């Protein structure tokens, strides 16, 4: 049995942090799905031309990054990067159904959303502060580096391999979701004024789409300062 855990120190410094969880099994991520691609493209079109610089959800992630010592302009939170790409009419590549669907959810709800292939993870999935000796290889790279001490990382607590640096800035390569992925964990994160109901609404919409479009078997969960870990079969 494995756990998804959030260090208590995260909640001491960010008490309003909340995370929706989807534990996904038996998913077919091999299909080219035009319905999903069209749904994503329509949401991109809906948001094109919108100025998100004053959006509270986006601004709050900037502030979170500043609080743990990261420059959100140099190392932008994932939702900020995603919105910048589409703000002036940019598109997103269709990588596979799962990635397209969590990009759709991110754009629709203006919240960070990402996932990891859990068959590549040996220990527990942990969100916490880096010591600086953890190991990170960025998505699409072969260069090994270490996170800075004190930055928020999501990592395998057995191997110390990092799935994501600076909370939600850059994904690691080793747990990337591919057409061969059949088991994964997806996170939907919220800080500040965003409510639990919006996080769970986004989580449940994504779960419904993954079941309908990819034949997935899904268990959902929710983490906050009152519930800091979930046990699952991995």
| 54 vs 71, more confident | 71
pLDDT at 232: 84
Among left, alpha and beta (phi > 0; psi -120 to 50; other), residue 215 is: left
Q: How far apart are CA 14 and CA 8, in angstroms?
A: 10
pLDDT at 131: 98
Please report which helix (H) or strand (E) contains residue 89, including its range.
Answer: none
Count of other CB atoms within 10 angstroms of residue 77: 23
Given pLDDT bands bounded at 50, 70 and 90, which one contains residue 233? confident
Domain count of the chain?
Answer: 1
pLDDT at 89: 73
Query: Are the C-beta atoms of 129 and 151 separated by less than 8 Å?
Result: yes
Structure confidence by residue, pLDDT tens digits, 61-76:
999 999 999 999 999 9
Domain that holds residue 178: 2-232
Q: How far apart are CA 2 and CA 122, in angstroms?
A: 9
Q: What CATH number does the domain containing 188 carry?
A: 3.50.40.10
In this predicted structure, the answer to whether residue 186 has a pLDDT above a threshold of 70 is: yes
Query: Are the C-beta atoms of 31 and 215 separated by less than 8 Å?
Result: no
Structure confidence by residue, pLDDT tens digits, 83-133:
998 887 778 889 999 999 999 999 999 999 999 999 999 999 999 999 999
Q: What is the mean pLDDT of the chain?
A: 95
Structure confidence by residue, pLDDT tens digits, 145-180:
999 999 999 999 999 999 999 999 999 999 999 999
Count of other CB atoms within 10 angstroms of residue 214: 21
pLDDT at 234: 61
Structure confidence by residue, pLDDT tens digits, 23-37:
999 999 998 899 999
pLDDT at 214: 96
> What is the residue-wise DSSP string for 148-203?
PTT-EEEEETTT-BEEEETTTTEEBSTT---TT---EEEEEEE-TT--HHHHHHHH
Asked whether the CA dihedral 10, 11, 17, 21 is positive or negative, the reply is positive
- Residue identified by tokens 């409510």 is 195
Angle ∠(176,61,47) on CA atoms, nearest 5: 75
Query: 152 is written with which tokens?
Result: 């928020």
pLDDT at 142: 96
Query: 69 is written with which tokens?
Result: 């010592």
Average pLDDT over residues 186-192: 97
pLDDT at 198: 98
* Residue 26: strand, helix, or coil: coil
């Amino acid at each position: 049995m494995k756990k998804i855990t959030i260090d208590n120190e995260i909640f001491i410094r960010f008490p309003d942090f909340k995370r929706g969880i989807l534990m996904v099994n038996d998913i077919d991520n091999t299909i080219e799905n035009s319905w999903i691609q069209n749904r994503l493209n329509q949401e991109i079109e809906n948001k094109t031309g919108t100025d998100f610089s004053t959006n509270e959800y986006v601004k709050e992630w900037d502030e979170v990054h500043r609080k743990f010592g990261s420059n959100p302009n140099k190392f932008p939170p994932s939702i900020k990067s995603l919105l910048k790409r589409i703000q002036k009419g940019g598109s997103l590549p269709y990588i596979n159904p799962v990635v397209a669907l969590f990009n759709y959810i991110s754009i629709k709800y203006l919240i960070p959303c990402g996932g990891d292939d859990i068959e590549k993870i040996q220990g527990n999935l942990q969100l916490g502060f880096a010591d600086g000796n953890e190991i990170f290889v960025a998505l699409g790279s072969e260069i090994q580096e270490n996170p800075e001490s004190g930055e928020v990382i999501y990592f395998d607590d057995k191997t110390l391999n990092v799935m994501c640096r600076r909370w939600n800035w850059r994904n690691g390569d080793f747990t990337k979701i591919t057409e061969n992925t059949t088991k994964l964990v997806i996170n939907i994160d919220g800080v500040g004024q965003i409510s639990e109901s919006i996080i769970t609404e986004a989580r449940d919409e994504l779960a419904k789409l993954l079941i309908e479009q990819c034949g997935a078997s899904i268990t959902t969960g929710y983490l906050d300062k009152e519930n800091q870990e979930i046990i699952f079969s991995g």
